[in-house]
Amino acid sequence: MSMKKFALKLSVAAVALIGLQTSSYAVDSVSVEAGAGSKVQMLRLGAQWDWKNTAWWQSNGTHIGGYWDLTVAEWHEKRYNNTDSSKNFTDIGFTPVFRFQRDDKKGFYGEAGIGVHLFSSLYNNDTKKLSTAFQFGDHLGTGYVFANGLDIGLKLQHFSNGGIKQPNGGVNFAVLKAAYRF
């Protein structure tokens, strides 16, 4: 896929996510994430909905809350089929995320999530194969939310099909996230 087509796909996805803001189920934040793993890269757009009025384990001005994360990503395999050729594919994901944060949702946080993803094609890159388009994606992350709503975070993310079908080599990413909270 050319860079022009990729930019067009991301633009359409961004407009769709912004359009969700006008509905009665308004988006609470939007995000852009860039990730890298072993000979693979990912660029992801997301929309998040807070679990409003949900706070577990409240103590000293902090609590565990969370949000729903709906994402669309484009992956770039650099060693497709163990050759020097490359391949792009799309990933759509939905993840419930638990977050340990201050009650005002500003400052430092830690989070963890396990969600489901659907790939547009099978992953086969640099000796790693995932034999199903359905994948689980789990992550651990940390970050900081500024007073203006800007959220900068870093997370480690793992994808696998949970042993549904072999081979299931798994794919790991380091992901940098920038989000804006409305």
Query: What was the pLDDT predicted at 57?
Result: 86
pLDDT digits (tens, 9 = 90+) for 112-136: 999 999 999 999 998 899 999 999 9
User: Are 37 and 76 contacting, i.e. CB atoms less than 8 angstroms apart?
Assistant: no
Model confidence at 10, pLDDT cuts 50, 70, 90, reads low
Q: How confident is the model at residue 56 (pLDDT cuts 50, 70, 90)?
A: confident
Identify the band that residue 14 occupies on the pLDDT scale cut at 50, 70 and 90.
Answer: low
Q: Which of 70, 55, 151, 43 is nearest to 100 (CA)?
A: 55
pLDDT at 17 over 90: no
The answer to whether 34 and 43 have CB atoms below 8 angstroms apart is yes
Task: Judge whether residue 175 has pLDDT over 80.
Answer: yes
Cα–Cα dist 33/75, whole Å: 12
pTM given for the model: 0.85
Cβ(134)–Cβ(121) under 8 Å?
no
CA 63 to chain centre: 23
Q: Is the confidence at residue 16, as pLDDT, over 70?
A: no
Please provide the average confidence, as pLDDT, over all residues in the chain: 89
**Bond preceding residue 167 cis, omega within 30 of 0:** yes
- One-letter identity of residue 144: Y
Do residues 155 and 112 lie in contact, with contact meaning Cβ atoms separated by under 8 Å? no
Q: Per-residue confidence at 81, pLDDT binned at 50, 70, 90? A: confident
| Per-residue pLDDT, 82 | 84
Give residue 21's pLDDT band: very low, low, confident or very high (50, 70, 90): very low
Task: Tell whether the model's pLDDT for residue 20 goes beyond 50.
Answer: no
